[in-house]
């Protein structure tokens, strides 16, 4: 189990049972179809809790063309259900699979939207060192405030005028997923993905947990130690609440 089209649900939120190579095949298949907007959600515990608390975000996640199993606990859960999920398959893993295509002579173009101008510049610089043939269509750091509808439309029109193949959005969760969902009928790019903190990882502004910590399911603790002020509510309130809700859902299923 774990091929294209197979999904499982965690507290009602869809998660696609995918590995990076299979997810890449799915993305490439979109380029064989007439132009249509597709968007990718990297779904983890934080996203599931946001979906439970926000109906529009719930819809945004469940209607995503790909809802990636981001985080080792979701891999564990998928394996328990019988899916072969051995590798991490969050947005960062898929993005690097896609970037690697430039070394195989695929001429896809990429637009990076969100975060700060400094992080965007360092992200592009770092990527060009690793992928010298990677085609960067553009970057844009929006103002750090609520944008008007007219401002959002102007940004989208500018992106559309450049015609990138991929649009990577780093506005933080749930803002980036809601932005893609709310503007899905306006964006004329082929693929958009919520990049979250991936720009910061690539640029070197945020440390990524070592692989052994990630696969031990302790990346949350690593990130909490590095940034307790920003992340304490996510990991000390939302995560325990998620565990309680998941246990309650098991008990309800067993009672039926």
Domain locations along the chain = 7-206, 218-255
- pLDDT above 70 covers a percentage of the chain that reads 89
pLDDT of residue 234 exceeding 90: no
Q: Confidence band (pLDDT; 50, 70, 90) for 145?
A: confident
Residue recorded with tokens 């500018």: 158
pLDDT at residue 254, rounded to an integer: 54
Lowest mean pLDDT among 8-22, 156-170, 188-202, 229-243: 229-243
Instruction: Provide the mean pLDDT of the chain.
Output: 88
pLDDT of residue 249 exceeding 90: no
Q: Confidence band (pLDDT; 50, 70, 90) for 255?
A: low
pLDDT at residue 216, rounded to an integer: 66
Lowest mean pLDDT among 140-154, 163-177, 187-201, 202-216: 202-216
pLDDT of residue 235 exceeding 90: no
pLDDT at residue 52, rounded to an integer: 92
pLDDT at residue 225, rounded to an integer: 76
pLDDT of residue 156 exceeding 70: yes
pLDDT at residue 56, rounded to an integer: 96
- pTM of the full predicted structure? 0.88
Q: Confidence band (pLDDT; 50, 70, 90) for 206?
A: confident
Smallest CA-to-CA distance from 92 within 190, 14, 23 is with 23
Contact 1, 83 (CB under 8 A): yes
**Cα–Cα distance measured from residue 164 to residue 175, given in angstroms and rounded to the nearest whole number:** 21
Give the residue ranges of DSSP H helices in 81-189.
Answer: 91-100, 117-130, 149-162, 175-182
- pLDDT above 90 covers a percentage of the chain that reads 66
Phi then psi for residue 37, to 5 deg, are: -75, 130
CATH number listed for the domain at residues 7-206: 3.40.50
pLDDT of residue 251 exceeding 70: no
Q: pLDDT digits over 79-111, tens only?
A: 999 999 988 899 999 999 999 999 998 999 999
pLDDT at residue 27, rounded to an integer: 97
**Cα–Cα distance measured from residue 180 to residue 194, given in angstroms and rounded to the nearest whole number:** 8
Smallest CA-to-CA distance from 187 within 61, 37, 59, 63 is with 37
**Cα–Cα distance measured from residue 217 to residue 73, given in angstroms and rounded to the nearest whole number:** 6
pLDDT at residue 222, rounded to an integer: 64
Residue recorded with tokens 């064989």: 32
Sheet holding 135-140, edge to edge: 66-69, 38-43, 191-194, 166-170, 109-114, 135-140
């Amino acid at each position: 189990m774990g091929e294209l089209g197979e999904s499982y649900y965690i507290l009602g939120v869809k998660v696609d049972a995918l590995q990076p190579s299979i997810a890449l095949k799915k993305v490439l298949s979109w380029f064989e179809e007439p132009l249509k907007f597709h968007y990718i959600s990297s779904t983890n515990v934080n996203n599931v809790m946001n979906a439970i608390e926000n109906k529009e975000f719930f819809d945004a996640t469940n209607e995503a063309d790909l809802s990636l199993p981001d985080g080792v606990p979701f891999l564990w859960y998928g394996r328990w259900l019988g899916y072969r999920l051995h590798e991490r398959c969050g947005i960062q893993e898929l993005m690097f699979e896609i970037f690697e295509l430039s070394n195989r002579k695929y001429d896809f173009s990429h637009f990076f939207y969100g975060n700060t101008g400094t992080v965007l510049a360092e992200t592009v610089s770092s990527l060009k060192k690793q992928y010298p043939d990677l085609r960067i269509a553009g970057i844009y750091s929006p103002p750090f405030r609520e944008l008007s509808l007219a401002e959002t439309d102007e940004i989208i029109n500018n992106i559309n005028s450049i015609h990138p193949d991929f649009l990577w959005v780093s506005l933080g969760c749930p803002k980036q997923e809601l932005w893609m969902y709310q503007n899905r009928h306006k964006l004329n790019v082929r693929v958009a993905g919520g990049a979250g903190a991936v720009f910061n990882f690539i640029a070197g502004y945020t440390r990524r947990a070592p692989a052994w910590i990630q696969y031990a399911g302790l990346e949350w603790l690593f990130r909490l130690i590095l940034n307790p002020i920003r992340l304490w509510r996510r990991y000390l309130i939302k995560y325990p609440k998620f565990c309680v809700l998941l246990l309650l859902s098991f008990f309800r299923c067993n009672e039926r």
